Structure 1
C-alpha cells in the first residue's frame, strides 16, 4: 500500500511539473497548486474557487494537501492543460477576450463557464448571437448629473459601425450615437462599486467621454463586452485588410495603464495644487474631479522620447504652487511641463513607471494625428 501511495505521489509530481501544467489553465497565473480531477486541468487558487461553484462540471483538489487516488492521477496524466485547451478552446474567436489573473472576477468566471459549462468553443459557430454583428438589450446606465442608474436600451450595429443608446425603450431617436472605432470598454468593479460594472469611453470632438454601465447577469455584461470587441474587429478587418488578425486584436479594447489620485497645478504653475482623479489610457492622460465623471476636466498627450517627451522624478526647483502631497512628478512635453504630486512614494514610482512605458514606445501614424489634434485644442 505504501508503495502504491508513493508511486501515486511521484506520478502526481511528474505530471504537475510538465511545462504545459506550470501555468493556470484558465488565467495563466504561474505555479498552480490546485487541479480538477474531472476536467484534468491545473488551476490557481482563484480559478479553483470558480470551479468549485460548478461542481456538476468540475471537482477540484489541492495538489499539496489533498490525497489523490491512482486513477485520478492517471486521468491528469492523460489530460493536462494542453489536451484541455485543444478541446475546450478549439474555436475561440479572435476577438474574444481571454482573461488573465489580474482581471476581475466576472471576466474570469464567465470565461471558465463559457469553456467548460456552456462549451462555447468546442465547435465552430457555437458563439452567442452577437457574432452576427448586431446586439440589442437593456443595460443600467449611470446618470451623468445625479449618479442614479436607470435602464436604457442599447443597440450595437456592425453595419452601422456604431453603439447607440435610447432614453426610452420605444424611442425612435437615440440619445447618443458613438462611432465604434472610438470606443473602449473596460471592467471597473472597484471604481463603480458593482461587480459587473463596465466603463465605456469614446471620443467626441477629440475629447473623452465616459459611460458607466452594469447588468445584473454576469454572462450578459461579458457578452456585451465581447460584442463590442467583435464589431470593432470586423470594422478593422475592413479598414485594414492586409493587417494580420493578431495585430488587429491588439487594437481592440484595452485596460487603462494606471488610474488613481494625484494633485496638479495650472499652466502658470503658481496656482495651488488640486486633487484630481487621473486615468492613463496609453497616450491620453485624463483628469477628472471625480472618478465617475462623464467628462474629463482636461487631457494631456504623452508622446515618445524621440519627440521631446520625458518624465522626471520631483518638481522643478522653485515651484510656487502650494501642494500637500510630497512626491512630485514632472511630465516634459515640447510645449510645456506638467507638474503633479503623489501621496506616497509607491504611487509616485508606479506613475513614473507607467509614463516611461508609454514614452519609450515609438509613435504610430495614428498617434501623430492624435498629437496634432491636441495641439489644435484651445
Structure 2
C-alpha cells in the first residue's frame, strides 16, 4: 500500500465520525475537500470560499490531492463538530448560518464566507440599521431603490420611497416578520423575502442589495431585533426556546392545484408556501398578497391530512396525485404533479400536525381563520 493510499483510507475512516459527513459550513452531504488550516471537511463549493481567505486557504481534495501523514493526523484530531464549536462559540443567538439550500453554487460567496463574517458580525451592532435596498414594486414588478430603517427602540422596520422622505411608505412591526433568502425566486444572488402581517393579512416584499455582505447583515439585524422583542415578551424563556421563533426558511414551497370551497370549481394551479402552521397560496411566487391561507393545527384538535381526494370529487385537471386536508371547519383539496411531490407535501403536513401547539399559536388560530380566494 502506498503512502497516499494509506492516507486516503485513514481520511475515509475519519469522515465516518459524527459531523464529518456533511460540509462544516453549509451542511451539504458528502464533503469532497478538507481544510488543512482549520481541520474541517467542506464541500467543493465552499472550498473556493476558503481558498479566497488569506491564511485559511490551505484546502485539499480528499480524493485527488496528496496528503502528508501530519495533515491526516491534524484532520483526525479535529473534525467538524469540534472545530465549529470553537469557531462559532462567540456567535450571538440571532446569527443565522446559511445552508446549501439558501443559494445556488454560483451564488455561494454571497452567503457563505463564514469564517470572515462570524468574526466581524460579533463586533457589529446588529440591532438598528439604516440603508438603501432594491425593492420590487407590488404592481409593476420593477426593482427600485428604497430607504429602509430598522429600529430596535421602536421595534419596527420602515421603508421610504425617497432618501429624504419624511413619511414612511410602510411601518412593519418586527414581531410579525419572517425573512428568508430567495435568490432563485427573486432572480438575484442576494435576494431576500420579507413576510409580515398588515391588518392581520400576510404581505410579502422582495428586496436585494448588490453587496452580499450587506444583505446578510440586514437579515441578521432583523433576527437581532426580533430576539430583543421576544426576550421582552417572554422574559422567562431561554435562548434555545426563542431561537426557533426567529426568521427562518419556509418549510416548503412549490406548485399544487386546488379547488374552491364548494369543491365543484375547477382545480387551478397555485404557488404554495408552508410557513410552519400557515399554508399560504398565491397566483404567482412573487405576489405581494396571498389569495388564501389555511391554518394547520394539531391532529388532536381535528386537523388531518390524507392521500387522495374524497370519493365523487369532480376533477378535470392533469395532476392526479391528490391530498385532502381536514380542519374543524372544512376540507381543502389539492393535487400534485408527481407522487414525489405528493409524498413530500404529506411529510411536511404530518410533521406540523404532529407538533403540539404553543399558546401563541392558539391565539394566531383565533385571529386568523382559514380564508381563501380563487
* TM-score under structure 1 length normalisation: 0.89
Matched pairs, number: 371
1:73 aligns with 2:90: no
CA deviation vs aligned residue, 1:155-203 (integer Å, no higher than 9, x gap): 0011100110001100111100011000000111111111111100001
Aligned to 2:259: 265
CA contact (8 A) 2:4 2:66 kept: no
Compared with structure 1, are the counterparts of its residues 20 and 259 closer, same or farther at alpha carbon in structure 2 (3 Å cutoff)?
A: closer
Structure 1 window deviating more from structure 2 (67-76 vs 193-202): it is 67-76
The within-5 A match list for 1:212-361 is 212-320=206-314, 322-361=316-355
Check whether the contact 1:41–1:80 (CA below 8 A) recurs between aligned residues: yes
* Unmatched 5+ stretches in structure 2: none
Q: Give deviations 1:276-317, integer Å, cap 9, x for gaps.
A: 111111111111111100011111111111111111111111
CA distance in 1, matches of 2:81, 2:336: 45
Q: Which residue of the partner structure matches residue 139 of structure 2?
A: 145
Tell me how large the CA RMSD over aligned residues is: 2.6
Pairwise CA distance, 1:114? 4.0
Paired residues of 2:307 and 2:324 also in contact (CA < 8 A)? yes
Return the match for 1:169 from 163, 173, 176: 163
Choose 81-90 or 279-288, whichever is displaced more: 81-90
1:367 aligned residue (350, 361, 364): 361
1:94 aligns with 2:90: no
Q: Determine the C-alpha separation between the residues in 2 that align with 1:309 and 1:222.
A: 37
Distance 1:310 1:141 in 2: 38
Map of 1:128 onto structure 2: 124
Deviation at 1:322, TM superposition (A): 3.5
Alpha-carbon distance between aligned partners in 2 of 1:119 and 1:332, rounded to the nearest angstrom: 44
Q: Secondary structure at the match of 1:51?
A: helix
> Quick one: distance in 2 between partners of 1:296 and 1:324?
24
The SS at the match of 2:102 is coil
3-state DSSP of counterpart to 2:222 = helix
Give 1:33's aligned residue. Answer: 32
Indicate if the aligned counterparts of 2:179 and 2:195 stay in contact, CA closer than 8 A.
yes
Unaligned runs of 5+ in 1: none
Task: State whether residues 8 and 63 of structure 2, in contact with CA within 8 Å, keep that contact through their aligned partners in structure 1.
Answer: no
Question: Which residue of structure 2 lines up, in the alignment, with residue 113 of structure 1?
Answer: 113
C-alpha change, 1:32 and 1:166, in structure 2 (3 Å) is same
TM-score normalised to the size of structure 2?
0.90
1:200 aligns to what? 194
Q: Secondary structure at the match of 1:255?
A: coil
Give the Cα separation in 1 of the matches to 2:331 and 2:81: 51
Aligned equivalents of 2:302, 2:80: Cα separation in 1: 47
Measure how far apart 1:142 and its partner are.
0.2
Residues 21 and 42 in structure 1, CA contact (< 8 A), matched pair in contact too = yes
